[in-house]
Amino acid sequence: MINQKGGVGKTTTAVNVAAGLARRGERVLLVDLDPQSHATLHLGVEPAPDEPGIYDVLVSGADPVDALREVAENLTLVAAHIDLVGTEVELSAKPDRELILGRALRSLQERFDVLIIDCPPSLGTLTINALATVDEVIIPLQPHFLALQGLGRLLETVTLVRGVLNPLLRISGVVLCMYEKGTRLAQEVESDVRRFIASASPEDAWHGALVFDTVVRRNVKLAECPSFGKTIFEYAPSSRGAQDYRALAREILDMLSVCEEEDTSAADPAAQPARLEAAVVSAGETRGPVQNADESAATPQTVSADVDAVVPTGSRVAVAGLSSTADPLSPPLPSDSCAVVAPDDAPS
């Protein structure tokens, strides 16, 4: 879950969606990648300095299994610590530093069904690692003008990361948070977002994205529960916040199930078009049909060589948090990056 603007409910959404999915039987891993450790504190965990966390995994090469903390049934946390502040400097000299997180988490693939990452509000090494690791991006958006103003820049950033590091990255949905149904502003922003998403072209990273039917209404219980170290389902299970995140978790799970069916269909050789002996695919260029969840027409699927070197396949994933400068709502600029796609039996 990703947004360039702070205070729109990224961590609240990451924690409570993770808890909601866990309550529905999904094995969920929540990774706190924010030096402020808000997701860690939200779940009532206060890591000691000598306990391994995500910092040790990234900087020291610690086994991520040692950093796992089971905080509830089906819900596991990799905690953050203030030491993450120094990660940018400590990783600066490492080769392929943008891919360290994905390579480390690959060993956990068989343990979990869903990975959710809560990122810092900055576009640095930590956030780039997250975007290079995940497949799905969900944008929590507060229906205010300033939040909408930076959406174009945010989409451009995701497109650039997809073109350079992660060909499978796509924006799968937008969820409206702190929603006040009775205000004209909220309705206008929702209308603008729906119209913009619907106008996406097939090569856009947000083509086929959903604007979730579930909106998270403004609710004081959501602001109170982190101070008690509890999710909204533990703190106020009958509140509007719990109702909304319960419905949102169900809607996201339905979306992820559709994505899995699409991936299975795409992996079926009988459903695939004949492969070319070799091709050069520019960033954003697409090949191969994938049936969209809510459309009758087939939409192209981005392809790239050596995908496994960038993205661990098989897990369903989402990411929270990103920061960039505000920019008018506009399509991203094209990238000049390209990838060579060769057949499976081609010599390296």
pLDDT band at 307 (very low <50, low <70, confident <90, very high): very low
pLDDT band at 175 (very low <50, low <70, confident <90, very high): very high
**Rounded (10°) CA dihedral 119, 123, 127, 132:** 150
Distance CA 307, CA 334 (A): 21
pLDDT band at 344 (very low <50, low <70, confident <90, very high): very low
Q: CB within 8 A of 220, min separation 6: which ones?
A: none
Sign of the CA dihedral with 267 first, then 272, 276, and 279 last = negative
pLDDT band at 212 (very low <50, low <70, confident <90, very high): very high
The CA distances from residue 200 to 117, 209, 321, 331, in Å, are 26, 9, 23, 9
**Rounded (10°) CA dihedral 18, 21, 25, 31:** -20
User: Which is more confidently placed, 130 or 7?
Assistant: 130
Exposed/middle/buried for 22, CB within 10 Å: 0-12, 13-18, 19+?
buried
The CA distances from residue 344 to 119, 234, 284, in Å, are 35, 49, 22
**What angle (nearest 5°) sits at the alpha carbon of residue 250, between those of residues 246 and 252?**
115
pLDDT averaged over every residue in the chain: 79
Distance CA 31, CA 11 (A): 11
Highest mean pLDDT among 85-99, 110-124, 234-248, 270-284: 234-248
* pLDDT for 267: 54
207 phi, psi to nearest 5 deg: -65, 130
Distance CA 323, CA 336 (A): 23
Query: Reduced to 3 states, what is the DSSP secondary structure of residue 277?
Result: coil
* pLDDT for 151: 81
Q: Are 33 and 189 in contact (CB under 8 A)?
A: no
pLDDT in tens, 120-140: 877 788 888 999 999 999 999
Closest to 112 in 3D by CA, of 175, 39, 18: 18
Point out which residues pair with 175 in neighbouring strands.
140
Q: Where are the domains of the chain?
A: 10-341
Q: Which CATH class is domain 10-341?
A: alpha beta
Q: Are 21 and 340 in contact (CB under 8 A)?
A: no
The CA distances from residue 337 to 107, 246, 249, 280, 288, in Å, are 29, 40, 35, 11, 20
Does residue 280 have a pLDDT over 70? no
pLDDT band at 28 (very low <50, low <70, confident <90, very high): very high
Does residue 188 have a pLDDT over 60? yes
Q: Are 183 and 137 in contact (CB under 8 A)?
A: no
**What angle (nearest 5°) sits at the alpha carbon of residue 321, between those of residues 313 and 33?**
70
* pLDDT for 264: 61
Q: Tell me the mean pLDDT in the region 220-227.
A: 96
pLDDT band at 174 (very low <50, low <70, confident <90, very high): very high
What number of residues does the chain have? 348
Q: CB within 8 A of 256, min separation 6: which ones?
A: 114, 136, 316
Q: How would you classify the pairing of strands 279-282 and 338-341?
A: antiparallel
Tokens 């990452």 found at: 117
Q: pTM value?
A: 0.75
Q: Are 297 and 289 in contact (CB under 8 A)?
A: no
Q: How would you classify the pairing of strands 170-176 and 136-141?
A: parallel
